[in-house]
Amino acid sequence: MAKLIWIDDEVDLLKPHIVFLESKGYDITPINNVNEALEMIEKENYQLALLDENMPGISGLEAIPMIKNIDSAIKIVMVTKNEEEQIMEQAIGSQIADYILKPVNPNQVLLSLKKNLQEESLVEQKTILEYQQEFRNLSMELSYLKTYQDWAEYYKKILNWEIKFDKVSDNEFADLLQSQKEEANIQFAKFIERNYEDWLHGGDKPMMSHTLFKDKVKAEVEKDKVLLLMVDNLRYDQWKVIEPLFTKYYNKTSEDYYFSILPTATQYARNSFFAGLLPSEIEKRFPQYWFNDNEEGNKNEHERDFLEDQMKRLGLSAKSMKYLKILNADFERKIFDDFNQHKHNDLLVIVYNFIDILSHAKTDNVIVNQLIRDDKTFRSLTYNWFENSSLMKIIKAAAENGFKLIITTDHGTIYVKKPSKVVGDRETSTNIRYKTGRSLTYENNDVWAISNPEKLFLPKGNLSSKYIFAKNNIFLAYPKNYNHFVNYYRDTYQHGGISLEECIIPISILEPK
């Protein structure tokens, strides 16, 4: 039973309301002055205080910090007949939980109590009930997905349920949803195998890494001053969670999805985005800049060169384009401090590597591994980082200086669980979700194998090179030191293969408020 205290100098007149609320299961202590109420709050553990704003002696507004000093966890609902905006702003600024205007209706009070004391359990019950009703529809719908549009919409339904389940403590239904997503990923890999090559050779195809700048960004750059934020490794669910941080300063004008090329890895997908070309086309046009997996060299060092070249091909001037890559918090702060130097650029490009660094840290750092236990905690940590980052200060400054904001990513990432053995020679690439090399032995059902990489516009390290892409939540493991390898990489975040999480990724366009 929830324990409440109702502080009002005319509390005796509220007896009918108190009787009504007690009949609904609330334990209410009526007090007619603040001093006595403070003594009671020191003695008892109240969950919520109903507080009259206008009382003789200590007013309700004056009482708020006094109550919070005694019990910072107690929720306060202000009750007042004063509709002045200044009074409302003071009350809200004092972090009250709710605001009720007199004359008080008992059902109005009941609604506020339910919202503030039972919201989590009510949301959980409703979420579970709605998912139970939707479960069968999601299962049946999977059999009818035919186009890339179908798959994108289905994936967005799945991730919306995942985000809803972040507020649900009943893991049984969250686990059931994960099972549905695994089955969806199995079918999605088959869809990619059937259609991916055709997409690259014409016909009806989604926006993809190599067409995104031309299809989506070019028109915005021609019209407005643009900040293009490329967040490495940003999944669609993570974007939906952090979106409210950006809409503090921006209004979203459009949100779309696009498909990362294969491999869903930075070297391929991000270079392809900036170049407006597929990997083998980049290698042909820029042989001095392209490094294959087994070659030494920084594989994403020339993104600015690729972008300048694409802009020239599209008839855009690159003279007023500034490219910045944020790899650490110090440089992030420096960009904010120096923002006045960048505010006159027509196109400001920022590559932001935090999420990629975080996902790799889960593999290599014991503490981060404990912090990120699943997709839910990954989303939560992502939100907390962005909320407290200097990047959000940069975003605010960009809005104040009239930049349109385009947010996107190069690929997503997936939580891998199941190992699959691969044998290769010393020239075989080391990525956990895809391999390229000459002599590859693998489990056929676990990967999509490409014997003719040129058909997918992929470079060949040598004449007999092939590529394999892991499906679903599989990761590729060598037989040598197999158990150590499996234990090291199981339950980590990897990218490069075929999954909804890696392939279907967001692009949003926002305008300053």
Residues 6+ apart with CB under 8 A from 116: 48, 75, 77, 97, 98
pLDDT in the model for residue 162: 93
Structure confidence at residue 86 (pLDDT): 65
CA angle 453, 184, 422 (to 5 degrees): 45
Confidence of residue 290 (pLDDT cuts 50, 70, 90): very high
* pLDDT tens digits, one per residue of 111-140: 888 888 887 777 788 888 888 888 889 999
User: In the chain, where does the domain assigned CATH 3.40.50.2300 lie?
Assistant: 3-117
Q: What pLDDT is stored for residue 87 in this prediction? A: 61
> Percentage of the chain with pLDDT > 70?
97
pLDDT in tens, 254-276: 999 999 999 999 999 999 999 99
Give the pLDDT confidence score for residue 73 in this predicted structure.
Answer: 87
Share of the chain above pLDDT 90, in %: 69
Q: How far is CA 96 from the centre of its chain?
A: 29
For 212-412+502-512, give the CATH class: alpha beta
List the one residue out of 138, 145, 136 whose CA is nearest residue 159.
138
What local confidence, expressed as pLDDT, does residue 294 receive?
78
Where do the CATH 3.40.720.10 domains begin and end in the chain? Answer: 212-412+502-512
* Helix or strand holding residue 485 (H, E): helix 482-489
Mean pLDDT of 92-104: 78
**What's the confidence (pLDDT) of residue 331?**
92
pLDDT band at 427 (very low <50, low <70, confident <90, very high): confident
Distance CA(215)–CA(227), nearest Å, equals: 17
Pick 293 or 377 by higher pLDDT.
377
The average pLDDT across 469-475 equals 97
Give the Cα separation of 333 and 311 in Å (integer). 28
Confidence of residue 405 (pLDDT cuts 50, 70, 90): very high
In CATH, the number for domain 3-117 is 3.40.50.2300
Is residue 229 pLDDT above 90, yes or no? yes
**456: exposed, middle or buried (C-beta count within 10 Å: 0-12, 13-18, 19+)?**
buried
The pLDDT value given to residue 170: 67
pLDDT given at position 94: 60
CA distance 13 to 501: 58
Supply the pLDDT for residue 215.
96
pLDDT at 92 (0 to 100): 62
Q: pLDDT confidence of 366, banded at 50, 70, 90?
A: confident
Element (H, E) at 383: helix 375-387
pLDDT at 493 > cutoff 70: yes
User: Rounded to the nearest 5°, which phi and psi values hold at 231?
Assistant: -95, 105
pLDDT, residue 385, reads: 94
Per residue in 12-43, pLDDT tens?
A: 888 999 999 999 999 999 999 999 999 999 98
Residue 276: HSE in the Cβ half-sphere, 13 Å Cα cutoff: 17
> Over the range 114-128, which residues count as b (16 or more CB within 10 Å of their CB) and which as e?
eebbeeeeeebeebb
Q: Could you read off the pLDDT of 302-335 as tens digits, one per residue?
A: 999 999 999 999 999 988 999 999 988 899 999 9
- Which tens digits make up the pLDDT trace of 430-449? 899 999 988 899 999 999 99
Residue 377 has pLDDT above 80, yes or no: yes
Which stretch of 103-117, 231-245, 490-504 has the lowest confidence by average pLDDT? 103-117
Per residue in 142-182, pLDDT (tens digit) is 999 999 999 999 999 999 999 998 888 767 888 889 999 99
Phi/psi class of residue 96: alpha, beta or left (left: φ > 0; alpha: ψ in -120 to 50)? beta
